[in-house]
Chain A
Amino acid sequence: MVASSLQLRDVGKSFPAPDQPLTRQPVLETISISLEAGELVSLVGPSGCGKSTLLRLIAGLDFPDSGELLVDEEPISGPSAERGLVFQDPNLFPWLTVRRNIEAGLAARGVLQQKRSEVKEFMRLVGLEAFADAYPHHLSGGMAQRVALARALINHPKVLLLDEPLGALDAFTRMRMQDEVLRLWQNRRTTMLLVTHDIDEAIYMSDRIIILTQRPGTIEQIIPIALDRPRDRSSSDFLSLRSEILELLHFAGNRTSEVTA
């Protein structure tokens, strides 16, 4: 599977203000990012700055007011299985069992018959084989998130957009899933854009970290992470980078407002 490159040029998006429907409030302004094929980039920013909105634009579920979004130099015209999105809420289909939820990606493209063997593999990947026949209602929040992750991964998207996919997991599972996601990323060289509130996760996983400002979200800073992989969370390089970024966020936080990190 080849990865895709991703270009955002001066993207802006606004929504009708909740109190006065006639005026629009900007949510994203002049966002320009370029992701190389196979790059893993994290997106960090305060709550409500438009991170989820940005991912929806890239997924093709919404359209920008201004600017343009390109995948492999082609403008994005709508959703596609080549751009997978793991939503902030797991949004599992409650009428399907765990297995059928994971199969949904294949079924939606009509390739379930040919690729059924992969379902087991992804169920093992997220550690939910024992729950194959359970309905989503019986899962914990973290389990549901893992199912949602498997459901998006099974389509082998060229671009994978992750909206805090590991947010509801305990520290231990979280670290294991980070390694699993990294392993998938390395095997398939998928282009990934990861929204996270966890600075350690951002440093551990990404090639670059993009920091957004308070709403309307603009790019505050882009920090390249030049550490060798596999990274060691307790190495001195890691820790000094971490305190550097926290200081930066604190500085940014003073100027805008508090950054949830």
Chain B
Amino acid sequence: MLQGQKISRQSQVTVGSVPSDQVRAESTERYALSAQEKKHPTAALLTVPVTAALALGIHLFVAKNEPPNESRTYTIVLGSFFAGAIVAAVMQRWWPALQTRMRRFRPLFTVGVLLLCVWEVITSGFRMLPLPYFPSPAGVVQSMINDRGLLFDSTWHSLVLLLSGYLLGVVAGLVTGVCIGWSGPARYWGMPLLKVVGPIPATAWIPLAMVISPSALISAAGLIALAVWFPVTMLTASGISNTRASYLDVARTLGANARYLVFRIAIPAALPSIFVGLFMGLGASFLTLVVAESVGVKSGLGWYVSWAQGWAEYGKVYAALVIMAVFFSTIMTLLFKLRDRVLVWQKGMIRW
């Protein structure tokens, strides 16, 4: 009786709160008010709007050196950022979620806007860098807007190609990784092949891929899959073969058959390692995607960059690079989110 009470009370304190609340509490703590913020709460609130205003001022000052349409567009962009910053600074009083977020991102935003200022000053302001290779931020924004149709199309093509290649590589890598990690004969024959073929960068196969494949798109997907396959296989195999023997022993005394041992014990136990492979594979797939698009495939962001470069339209090159950065980091973030969901059980065991 007494025991039961003790346990249930403990559970409320520790277990109930651990998965989400405590972590959230931790993160708010990390972005809690700094000493300065406590002393000057309004000053802290104003850092982002003030830097935005500064950027706007600098821009208007150097605008005479820029083509008028570029300048106007960039004025609108900076102006709306300034307005947004003001609105957010006011709103956060009544919106705690926004407040934590603002507190967390305030230094990043401030420095980011300052960097834009520096860029504009050394390009449009003092003309320290040669044109057309180094356009001003206003020029890049203008190219992005002018060419939005083609940029959107290229992003879409890149996304389709990337996902088809990546998923193909992941599936193939998981299958071969589990086989090599679990079965002795598969390891004997698979490992040497993996060690010899795996380290060749997928892009080195481009000449061969162009010869054998009927379409550039299919060969690009195949190359991306190959680039992903190697790290996924390696890390899946090592995760599976490092499964603690005692987990397998326990399962066997519970009456598990081979299927249960592989799918319910070895694979879950290997998941942390598998995710390392998925991340490495994702990095490799970005690289292969861009290279394949710039040499063979006639669409996608990689193609767009080299096409724009051919016309010496560097504003478009940078516009595509910015989109690429956003595009790739979004996919990376999604994979992190997936990992956080699948590996919740590790929370508290490792540095999260």
- Given known pairs A61-B249, A95-B268, A137-B348, the reply for A105 and B255 (CB within 8 Å) is yes
Check if B269 sits within 8 Å of A81, measured CB to CB.
no
Does B7 belong to the interface (CB within 8 Å)?
yes
Return A108 CB to nearest CB of chain B, in Å: 4
Q: Which of A81, A83, A176 contacts B3 (CB 8 A)?
A: A176
In the complex, which residue of chain A has the Cβ closest to the Cβ of B257?
A108
Check if B11 sits within 8 Å of A152, measured CB to CB.
no
Complex interface: chain B residues within 8 A of A173 (CB): 3
Additional pairs, 6, CB under 8 Å, beyond known A84-B253, A91-B246, A137-B349: A79-B252, A79-B255, A80-B253, A81-B253, A107-B260, A135-B347
Give the distance in Å from the alpha carbon of A108 to the alpha carbon of B258 in the complex.
10
Chain B residues packing against A (C-beta within 8 Å) = 3-4, 7-8, 10-12, 14-15, 18, 244, 246-247, 249-257, 260, 264-265, 268-269, 271, 344-349
Does A255 belong to the interface (CB within 8 Å)?
no
Return A78 CB to nearest CB of chain B, in Å: 8
Return B158 CB to nearest CB of chain A, in Å: 35
Give the distance in Å from the alpha carbon of A191 to the alpha carbon of B333 in the complex.
54
9 interchain residue pairs of minimum CB distance:
A81-B255, A130-B11, A108-B256, A79-B252, A134-B15, A130-B8, A108-B254, A109-B255, A95-B268
Check if B7 sits within 8 Å of A95, measured CB to CB.
no
Interface residues of A in 81-105 (CB under 8 A from B): 81, 83-85, 87, 89, 91, 93-96, 104-105
Complex interface: chain B residues within 8 A of A107 (CB): 260, 264
Does A185 belong to the interface (CB within 8 Å)?
no
Most interface-central of B3, B14, B252, B349 (chain A CB within 10 A): B252
Give the distance in Å from the alpha carbon of A87 to the alpha carbon of B244 in the complex.
14
Total contacts A-B at CB 8 Å: 100
Give the distance in Å from the alpha carbon of A222 to the alpha carbon of B15 in the complex.
45
Return A89 CB to nearest CB of chain B, in Å: 7
In the complex, which residue of chain A has the Cβ closest to the Cβ of B255?
A81
Check if B247 sits within 8 Å of A131, measured CB to CB.
no
Check if B18 sits within 8 Å of A138, measured CB to CB.
yes
Return A81 CB to nearest CB of chain B, in Å: 3
Check if B348 sits within 8 Å of A133, measured CB to CB.
no
Q: Which of B10, B15, B255 contacts A133 (CB 8 A)?
A: B15
Complex interface: chain A residues within 8 A of B251 (CB): 104, 108
Check if B3 sits within 8 Å of A91, measured CB to CB.
no
Does A59 belong to the interface (CB within 8 Å)?
yes
- Given known pairs A107-B264, A138-B18, the reply for A172 and B3 (CB within 8 Å) is yes
- Given known pairs A87-B246, A105-B255, the reply for A95 and B271 (CB within 8 Å) is yes
Give the distance in Å from the alpha carbon of A155 to the alpha carbon of B254 in the complex.
7
- Given known pairs A127-B3, A152-B253, the reply for A91 and B247 (CB within 8 Å) is yes
Complex interface: chain A residues within 8 A of B11 (CB): 130-131, 134
Complex interface: chain A residues within 8 A of B15 (CB): 130-131, 133-134, 138
Return B198 CB to nearest CB of chain A, in Å: 28
Give the distance in Å from the alpha carbon of A152 to the alpha carbon of B265 in the complex.
16
Give the distance in Å from the alpha carbon of A60 to the alpha carbon of B271 in the complex.
28
Return A231 CB to nearest CB of chain B, in Å: 22
Return B240 CB to nearest CB of chain A, in Å: 14
Check if A93 sits within 8 Å of B268, measured CB to CB.
yes
Return A83 CB to nearest CB of chain B, in Å: 7
Does A195 belong to the interface (CB within 8 Å)?
no
Give the distance in Å from the alpha carbon of A96 to the alpha carbon of B247 in the complex.
12
Complex interface: chain B residues within 8 A of A84 (CB): 253-254
Q: Which of A95, A105, A152 contacts B269 (CB 8 A)?
A: A95
Interface residues of A in 30-67 (CB under 8 A from B): 56, 59-61
Give the distance in Å from the alpha carbon of A71 to the alpha carbon of B304 in the complex.
73
**A to B CB contacts below 8 Å, 19 in the list:** A60-B253, A61-B252, A78-B252, A79-B252, A81-B253, A84-B253, A84-B254, A91-B247, A93-B247, A109-B254, A127-B4, A130-B7, A130-B11, A131-B15, A134-B14, A137-B347, A138-B14, A155-B254, A176-B3
Per-position contact with B for A110-154: 1 when CB-CB < 8 Å, else 0? 000000000000000001101101110110000000000001100
Complex interface: chain A residues within 8 A of B3 (CB): 127, 172-173, 176
Give the distance in Å from the alpha carbon of A60 to the alpha carbon of B253 in the complex.
8
Check if A108 sits within 8 Å of B7, measured CB to CB.
no
Check if B264 sits within 8 Å of A108, measured CB to CB.
yes
Give the distance in Å from the alpha carbon of A180 to the alpha carbon of B345 in the complex.
30
Check if A151 sits within 8 Å of B254, measured CB to CB.
yes
Per-position contact with B for A167-211: 1 when CB-CB < 8 Å, else 0? 000001100100000000000000000000000000000000000
Give the distance in Å from the alpha carbon of A134 to the alpha carbon of B10 in the complex.
12
Complex interface: chain A residues within 8 A of B348 (CB): 137-138
Give the distance in Å from the alpha carbon of A151 to the alpha carbon of B3 in the complex.
21
Give the distance in Å from the alpha carbon of A109 to the alpha carbon of B345 in the complex.
24
Give the distance in Å from the alpha carbon of A79 to the alpha carbon of B258 in the complex.
12
In the complex, which residue of chain B has the Cβ closest to the Cβ of A106?
B254
Complex interface: chain A residues within 8 A of B244 (CB): 91
Complex interface: chain B residues within 8 A of A108 (CB): 251, 254-257, 260, 264
- Given known pairs A93-B268, A94-B349, the reply for A131 and B7 (CB within 8 Å) is yes
Most interface-central of A94, A95, A172 (chain B CB within 10 A): A95
Check if B265 sits within 8 Å of A93, measured CB to CB.
yes
Complex interface: chain A residues within 8 A of B271 (CB): 95
In the complex, which residue of chain A has the Cβ closest to the Cβ of B8?
A130
Give the distance in Å from the alpha carbon of A85 to the alpha carbon of B254 in the complex.
8
Give the distance in Å from the alpha carbon of A59 to the alpha carbon of B14 in the complex.
36
Most interface-central of A104, A151, A172 (chain B CB within 10 A): A104
In the complex, which residue of chain B has the Cβ closest to the Cβ of A98?
B15
